[in-house]
Amino acid sequence: MKTRVYVLLFCITLLSVRTVSFGQDKPLEKPNAEVKEKAKETREDIYEEFEEFIKVIKELQDKYVDEINVNTILTNAYRGMLSGLDPYSQYFSSEELEDLKIETEGEFEGLGIEVIIREGLLTVITPIIDSPAFKAGILVGDRIIKIDGEFTENMSVRDAIKKLRGKLGTTITLTVVHEGDTVPVDITMERATIHVKSIRGARIVDDDYKIGYLAVTNFQENTTKDMDVAVQDLLKKGMKSLILDLRFNPGGLLNIAVDMADKFLERGLIVSTKGRDTTQNYTYQARKQGTYPKFPLVVLVNNGSASASEIVAGAIKDHKRGLLLGIKTFGKGSVQSLIPVWDGKTALKLTTARYYTPSGVCIHEKGIEPHIKVPLSFAETKALHEHLSMIDIDRDTKTNEVRESEGKGKEPVPQGSSVKKEKSPYRDVQLERAIDVLKGIEVYAKGANTP
């Protein structure tokens, strides 16, 4: 397999810069007069455009109401160039670049939401579980129309992020319109330190059938290693089948998604990336070494499952390794690379490729349909948010053992909880359906093996 490179999906990591040759390997044929003339016209057009650009800069410096330096003008120009391409391409100043590096380490300050510009509106991709935004009731697909009373129309993603961030402990009010609704609501929350734990709630949810449960909330550097620890612990407890919960998982690092999918697949293509520049074309193959036992598997997905989550879900679906259950995923199938400029002091986050599932499908802006559709109403989705935001997650073995022993015979509650909070009447219908499916698979398997 080719050397795996770190590419960007939602979380960002630095790429080593690769030189790109714009020439050809074979000698060029001598161009005819027509080709020469067209090339000359193209060069002249470019020069004219640059001359116009320089004139605009000079006019801004000379006549704008406030004094403005050239660096500010150019930075705004870079931002404009990239924002006009797609919702994910951006320019980062040195300060913003440092913030990105911090975020990939799994701890940062803010609200904990992923946003893009969609149809001209600032839109929430998904809130991070346990974040202030998630706990306050910000939902997947929410359109943010005001930030502290200021309209977000024509506001760039970077400008929005600057306003969303702030000093630890300060409050902010977002005016949002929930997906499928028309009435805006004000949601006030307090900025906090976001601790992103990518592996949550690992436990046995049904003692009789030994069904394991594991939630993955994003794809960070240590996610696969943490998942290995959790799965091995579940296997020691007698796990016979597994529910992998990728709901509200906005994605992360491509190589980590590949590694995770590799754990469930012995062989075959996991994902491929294709770009206009052939240096962005990669294929990622599964390896038998380190693959988990072939236990029955159900993957929970929803419209907050995006990017790297969709790589894992797509590979499992295409290879018929497990069943997808829930609702259609978000549909982000593009790959962003972080390209350092100005000696690495600033950077371009540029869409350089799209990824394709093993069957050759690009799910960008389409999403992945689950095998078993279990839709939720708006009220049920909001209740799920409220339930997950109230859950205290820890991976202390003794605490989990207490939960399991006292939870026998009760309805399963997703992602762990204290004994007191397990008495909540909330029912996670998607998780319950997944448990029923796995029970049915075991019953069928036993029946098939009975002479």
Name the residues annotated as catalytic: 307, 318, 332
Tokens 């998630």 map to which residue? 134
CB 207 within 8 A of CB 237: no
Quickly count: other Cβ atoms within 10 Å of residue 324's Cβ.
25
Dist. CA 341–CA 347, nearest whole Å: 5
CB 357 within 8 A of CB 271: yes
Please report the DSSP string for 321-372 in residue order.
SSEEEES------EEEEEEEETTTTEEEEEEEEEEE-TTS---TTT----SE
Mark residue 327 as left, alpha or beta (left: phi above 0; alpha: psi -120 to 50; beta: remaining).
Answer: beta
Task: Quote the distance between the C-alpha of residue 102 and its chain's center.
Answer: 17
CB 110 within 8 A of CB 191: yes
- Reference 441, options 384, 390, 372; nearest CA is 372
Tokens 């550097």 map to which residue? 221
CB 177 within 8 A of CB 207: no
Name the DSSP letter for residue 10.
S
Tokens 């990939």 map to which residue? 104
CB 404 within 8 A of CB 207: yes
- Reference 247, options 370, 103, 132, 407; nearest CA is 370
Dist. CA 245–CA 215, nearest whole Å: 4
Integer angstrom CA distances of residue 162 from 13, 85, 159, 177: 20, 21, 5, 21
CB 314 within 8 A of CB 358: yes
Buried b (16+ CB within 10 A) or exposed e, 42-60: eeeeeeeeeeeeeeeeeee
